[in-house]
Structure 1
């Protein structure tokens, strides 16, 4: 089957405008004077409670305002002296208020209580209550679960309010640092990266209680608890055919516990190994996790290579040791370590793909704000145009009865949610599928019944689930990572010989390969594929990498049958499916990928006419024909807004007789009107326009069953939040991938015919 480079597609004219959505309507209370009196009482109580706070770099009290759907910016506009620092779950906004603002609040509330209509009365109508940021509001998930230790010294992670103004932020950091010094608290590390301001502190129980009452503290939590849980195929290196990678091979960086650089299957492809963990900064892998991850990132399917006894790498590996030998909490913040490692490999080697198989078991995502490391990855991805691949994290706490009777539904429980940094929106998050369903005991004793929890190509019983912010599809992709098997006589659970085969750090003892389970070993399958795409498209943006990978995602039949009719479970456990790399790198006559990279102004649309040959529709024989569309972009983010991402893109696949007709439907359409524009009905197992639009990489597939008279257009729309104007570019970049497949047509000539259509369009544009 001859393969060809993917084709470029250019957008059509016009670029038409759309209207923003309507602002939320403010409902006037039924009894306005009573509403005003209630607000005055809650304001008085909140002021009294705020005075009990400790510290603060200035004397402004901190309030928790119940604002519902009211945009926080309107409060600042209506009441000078109010500084909204964050939106929180449940329709709350946190704000500092100076004396002038408080006096103005009281004066206008008095007017409202007397039956008058003060300035910005709509804000007072929308306000439901004044409240105070309490110690329980500051407690993170792990601290609520475990509580503060009662004696001795221990470590806490403290996040401060991410103030927008640089001078205030610097003043707060200086004030908080001075307060820590005065109290004799040891600061192990500090992060100041955009919206993420945090300290790692060694404290006493008394100081822990003080921090829960400190005005400038946003949250207090226990330090990370790593989810790096770590059978063997006999292989003699003398029987293996090896070759070094080509000189122009793309690079992929493994940020992990280091790599055993002397391993004979890794050494020839290892370009650089650095340690970023204090104090000694050793690069060697003393744990073994990083070496396992590296083997999969380098070779992809290590099992297939071992069976063929051929290991020829097509990539080069860079190793950044970011975990210590025990994979335990390090005095430094992971965010600082990762930031340093990424910048080093990007600057020194122009590395574009990073695998970070890490999950903080103390930071499950239960809605609301993403964790600090997720935020840092989102910012780095945008700043450096790099792709991060991370796992969902492992859930090993399911009781045997859940495994036996409630698989896979228990995966939707809160206990099994994504771990930080998996909720990050500008990265690819990878869940796990079972490759094997026969354990070591079952191989040795064929008559001994061991029941696999998952069948092949079904979700691993330990894979964690999404969604991410505002319901964004997470994980986007899945790959093989392992399985469990249960002995029905003893109810014992095993994973032996049910994991992924990869390179073992103990190679000197004769163990070249080792099998382990975990989403940590699913993620590098995707990192491997992403780096190989760079071999075909060296200048591809991270957006294009994500769009290509997701466009080639397929939900395996075994998973679809298991989750049939359960779209919510499908979206939160397997996302867009498993990467089918048969056409990821090159197109063929029966399957063609069209790629585009462009940039779009806010409140505008771009149009792409899908080039469809007559042969795609024609033919009497019924056959499967598909169109897949994927979109990826990389927005700026703010942890102080519930929407998190400052820009919003979405796409529609619509029918129209002409470009003018398609443009007329979208011309100056409001956000609500765009939502109502009908697109083709997409396949079961993929997601409609509204569901996929929450993420920054989006994809859907359509089956074409009959000839169509109308043309098909992909319409890309940008509709940003007002609060994001200062963060976004005038033209925000995006990548689009359109895949046409006619695999059951043995005489298909899609590539030749589509290329001819695109060339004809180019000639027509040149004449104009």
Structure 2
């Protein structure tokens, strides 16, 4: 048992009260309602004509493009469209443009209402239709991504892999079979279907191999297709592999029952250092052979963590977790990597989590997706990738935590020919690889923890190869960093700089670099927290790791201004995650916020921090607050992907004994504080010198949302508050215990 377990705040002390927000609305004014109405009728007639002639298997609805008037936003008008025009918005293209559908049987009704709007003396229905600029059929060629268009405009007979995604909300019989069958019929001799699945958003995703004729046949004849793109390539980073040999080692008994699932290239059965800690080995890829180097390195980092070289000196290995080993990479007859497609990988992840989520709560993905045309990241600031959205949906449904690697810059030395380190990071091509942009998991980058003459990265600086943030829409990525190795200025190998792990065969010692080998360390930490804290949520495990991460002092000398986009909240401290310090006590609370409700969570600041008269002119109190929640997400809403947000306010006790709100703009906070609307993590760090008193301070939360959120929905969250003596002299933990300790229960399990 920890000597100073964190304080768990009781739900009995939390106060809920209703908010008093009212809604509002506005109309759009036009000079000529008649002409506008006639224009909308013309568009509707073209849409109706298309549905009568389309070859699409979907016959009960028309898919259409909705453009709104200047200044109008789809997210503000979608309910009006649904209630009064019978148009359901499915996807957001930009703020004023969306794709949607109208049932065939509702077209006469809308036509009648538009005629009334256009031709009546009062232009009845102005508030329902005046804000709509255009109703159009969707151009099939516009559904092709720019990369796919280039492919199609190339050689006619060349076949390439294409990912097709349907609109959501299709009829069940179409969703389950009809759409896939029609894709197959349309490409016929010009391609083949490789795999398919139903995405969490409700769309059908089909991966095909097709030539120019097949792609155009799909785009021109299947109105229910939402988008078509060149299939992304799953990569398994491999850099600077080096090996050594070790003598026989003793292995300590594992303490606890922490478990991690690893999707990688697998481990070799019969390795006496791995076998005792493998829960199960499952092969999800059919291949001619299997190279287990990468998978073994990742597994070693999870099981034995980063200090294998130190453990070698003692002759004993300390295991921390057990591993569920899922092989998703193999090799062909030439030794080249064979991987699952995106849809195949998603199906494997889904099935694995479905089967094991009650036993295994942490899932490691040390892999990434590259654009096969540009060989660069597929990250987008318009929409998260399908696999990132799937990870978020699985995380929320099963309350598990995905740990993903930020990815490596494979063209590092090529970039350095024209741009020196670290200036090449100004190129957006150095941003993280999907699925690292997921919102509910943790993305891990690498820092250099070793240096020698000729090393490129400085101590505790971002590793020169470690991809940077931000994630999609400017969100903070990677959130944390740990050891992943360093490289040389010349590009020559120097294993003294590398990360160390046990090799795939007994007696092998492996040296390598990469964020692939950083991620499993964090997965191991997360699994330990799940094991040691009773009934803990994924929100709280994520919150603990982020809350107890800090920027190293050396980062101040790093050559780029924006440190957050490289190292996020910093380097995590697993020991602090489990135990408060003498001068820094931490409160923890897990709960939920109903809609239209303020939730006020109290915590105690000991009076000695305010009353110490020897500290005149010096900081007396430091607060660190971290809030994590798992929002509803919807990939179809593009930049509005996260639908729920928690607004946070801090209240202190002033020196007059009255409660007062504390303003916490990021500009007035200590690094690495972070707040961004609809990004599901808030961290604030602030010091106080005067105008405060000890007593019951509080954090107040309120949920806001956009688009449709069920009325009964409550947003789950985890909150952590650390109360610290910035001078590190007062026993804050003991003072709280003496003053109000009976109010709080210890956080961790007694073993």
When normalised by structure 2's length, the TM-score is 0.85
Matched, 1:340 2:351: yes
Native 8 Å contact 1:393 1:419 kept in 2: yes
Residue 203 of structure 1 is matched in structure 2 by 210
Deviations 1:449-469 (A, max 9, x none): x461x3222223333333345
- The alignment partner of 1:611 has SS state of strand
Question: For residues 522-537 of structure 1, what are the structure 2 equivalents within 5 Å?
Answer: 522-537=518-533
Alignment length (residue pairs): 715
- The alignment partner of 1:337 has SS state of helix
- Structure 1 residues 21, 225: closer, same or farther in 2, change over 3 A? farther
Residue 669 of structure 2 is matched in structure 1 by 683
Native 8 Å contact 2:389 2:438 kept in 1: yes
Matched, 1:418 2:432: yes
1:293 Cα deviation (Å)?
Answer: 1.0
Native 8 Å contact 1:43 1:129 kept in 2: no
Partner Cα separation in structure 2 for residue 89 and residue 322 of structure 1: 36
**Bigger strand fraction:** 2
Matched, 1:137 2:142: yes
Native 8 Å contact 1:70 1:126 kept in 2: no
- Structure 1 residues 702, 261: closer, same or farther in 2, change over 3 A? farther
- Structure 1 residues 398, 298: closer, same or farther in 2, change over 3 A? same
Return the match for 1:126 from 124, 128, 131. Answer: 131
Partner Cα separation in structure 2 for residue 379 and residue 316 of structure 1: 25
Partner Cα separation in structure 1 for residue 621 and residue 657 of structure 2: 27
Residue 634 of structure 2 is matched in structure 1 by 638
- Structure 1 residues 98, 292: closer, same or farther in 2, change over 3 A? same
Partner Cα separation in structure 1 for residue 656 and residue 49 of structure 2: 63
Partner Cα separation in structure 1 for residue 252 and residue 513 of structure 2: 28
1:662 Cα deviation (Å)?
Answer: 6.0
Residue 670 of structure 1 is matched in structure 2 by none
- The alignment partner of 1:525 has SS state of helix
How large is the Cα RMSD of the aligned pairs? Answer: 3.5
1:159 Cα deviation (Å)?
Answer: 1.3
Deviations 1:725-750 (A, max 9, x none): 17xx543322111122336434x322
Question: For residues 94-173 of structure 1, what are the structure 2 equivalents within 5 Å?
Answer: 94-99=99-104, 101-113=106-118, 116-140=121-145, 143=148, 150-163=156-169, 168-173=171-176
- The alignment partner of 1:610 has SS state of strand
Return the match for 2:547 from 543, 548, 551. Answer: 551
Matched, 1:741 2:724: yes
- Structure 1 residues 680, 142: closer, same or farther in 2, change over 3 A? closer
- Structure 1 residues 289, 41: closer, same or farther in 2, change over 3 A? same
Return the match for 1:725 from 710, 713, 720. Answer: 710
Native 8 Å contact 1:469 1:644 kept in 2: no
Partner Cα separation in structure 2 for residue 483 and residue 31 of structure 1: 67
- The alignment partner of 1:576 has SS state of coil
Partner Cα separation in structure 1 for residue 568 and residue 115 of structure 2: 53
Partner Cα separation in structure 2 for residue 288 and residue 26 of structure 1: 63
- Structure 1 residues 47, 432: closer, same or farther in 2, change over 3 A? farther
Deviations 1:382-405 (A, max 9, x none): 111111101122232356455774
- Structure 1 residues 143, 623: closer, same or farther in 2, change over 3 A? same
Partner Cα separation in structure 2 for residue 266 and residue 249 of structure 1: 16
Residue 586 of structure 1 is matched in structure 2 by 579
Matched, 1:651 2:634: no
Native 8 Å contact 1:416 1:465 kept in 2: yes
- Structure 1 residues 498, 136: closer, same or farther in 2, change over 3 A? farther
Residue 78 of structure 1 is matched in structure 2 by 84
Deviations 1:554-575 (A, max 9, x none): 12333344377x4xx4443322
Partner Cα separation in structure 1 for residue 421 and residue 32 of structure 2: 52
Residue 245 of structure 1 is matched in structure 2 by 254
- Structure 1 residues 59, 680: closer, same or farther in 2, change over 3 A? closer
Native 8 Å contact 1:191 1:198 kept in 2: yes
1:9 Cα deviation (Å)?
Answer: 1.4
Partner Cα separation in structure 2 for residue 155 and residue 632 of structure 1: 38
Residue 361 of structure 1 is matched in structure 2 by 370
Deviations 1:548-601 (A, max 9, x none): 11101212333344377x4xx444332222212341221232222211111221
Question: For residues 473-552 of structure 1, what are the structure 2 equivalents within 5 Å?
Answer: 473-487=476-490, 497-505=496-504, 507-508=505-506, 510=507, 512-552=508-548
1:264 Cα deviation (Å)?
Answer: 3.8
1:138 Cα deviation (Å)?
Answer: 2.3
Partner Cα separation in structure 1 for residue 715 and residue 649 of structure 2: 18
- Structure 1 residues 174, 680: closer, same or farther in 2, change over 3 A? closer
Matched, 1:3 2:3: yes
Residue 433 of structure 1 is matched in structure 2 by 447
Native 8 Å contact 1:324 1:330 kept in 2: no
Matched, 1:753 2:732: no
Greater mean alpha carbon deviation, residues 39-48 or residues 529-538: 39-48
Residue 374 of structure 2 is matched in structure 1 by none
Partner Cα separation in structure 1 for residue 162 and residue 339 of structure 2: 11
Unaligned runs of 5+ in 1: 443-449, 666-675, 764-768
Deviations 1:663-707 (A, max 9, x none): 9x8xxxxxxxxxx97679753323354x2x432232222223346
Partner Cα separation in structure 2 for residue 144 and residue 430 of structure 1: 34
- The alignment partner of 2:631 has SS state of coil
1:649 Cα deviation (Å)?
Answer: 2.0
Residue 60 of structure 1 is matched in structure 2 by 61
Greater mean alpha carbon deviation, residues 101-110 or residues 326-335: 101-110
Native 8 Å contact 2:408 2:467 kept in 1: yes
- Structure 1 residues 22, 58: closer, same or farther in 2, change over 3 A? same
Unaligned runs of 5+ in 2: 372-376, 746-751
